[in-house]
A and B are shown apart, each in its own frame.
Chain A
Amino acid sequence: DIVMTQSPDSLAVSLGERATINCKSSQNVLYSSNHKNYLAWYQQKPGQPPKLLIYWASTRESGVPVRFSGSGSGTDFTLTISSLQAEDVAVYYCQQYYTTPYTFGQGTKLEVK
């Protein structure tokens, strides 16, 4: 199985400041034939299902605010929130869909400092 490791486990950022969450996969998730990174990011608020934010490592889902961006390739990826808003407090997960079993990172809890 591909192991997804996120860092840090928790993060406290002041409102309006940048938040950065990292995700590392134990194997490459870049498919050479189409040059796509098979990596998604989700946001989960308490009592709610995960919400898709980013797919193909850097494509923002429709309706997701532009302050959310994804980057990286191969095995190292980053989710960046450019200016933290109060409603961004949540747990964030990365997920690889390169191969089954699809696997998620352990989650990063983002709080306001």
Chain B
Amino acid sequence: QVQLEESGPGLVKPSETLSLTCTVSGVSISSTYWSWIRQPPGKGLEWIGYVFHSGSTNYNPSLKSRVTISVDTSKNQFSLKVTSVTAADTAVYYCARSTYSYGDPNWLDFWGQGTLVTVSS
């Protein structure tokens, strides 16, 4: 049974760095791509980026300059950092598994429960 669980601070001050970790169980993180997605309260979904077990990444250009996604295969975890946060970064942050075929990541088949991160002083 594939399970993902997000962890990290629920409150971050403006201009500081948001840091979250996703712990994967039930499958090796070396098996596929892993994504972060966020959802502001009452709004839709925004893909943030993905990481492969090799460490290769792809980010949404809307956040690219502020985002880093990394992977720790020894712990079966991957992480998200967003720098210089503002109130606009307040959202539920989800980690998810991307299947892949034909060489590229595809749909998101397993999701964590999500964690609300509020940016406020």
Contacts and interface: CB of A to CB of B under 8 A. Distances in A.
Interface residues of B, number: 22
A55 to B, nearest CB: 4
B42 to A, nearest CB: 10
Contact size range, A? 20 to 34
Contacts of A93: 44-45
B107 A97 contact: yes
A22 to B, nearest CB: 16
B44 A40 contact: no
A34 interface: yes
Interface of A: 1, 31, 34, 36, 38, 40, 42, 48-52, 55, 61, 93, 95, 97, 100-107
28 contacts: A31-B102, A40-B106, A42-B108, A48-B113, A49-B94, A49-B96, A49-B114, A50-B94, A52-B109, A55-B109, A61-B109, A93-B44, A93-B45, A95-B45, A95-B107, A97-B106, A97-B107, A100-B47, A100-B60, A101-B60, A101-B61, A103-B47, A104-B44, A104-B45, A104-B46, A105-B44, A106-B44, A107-B44
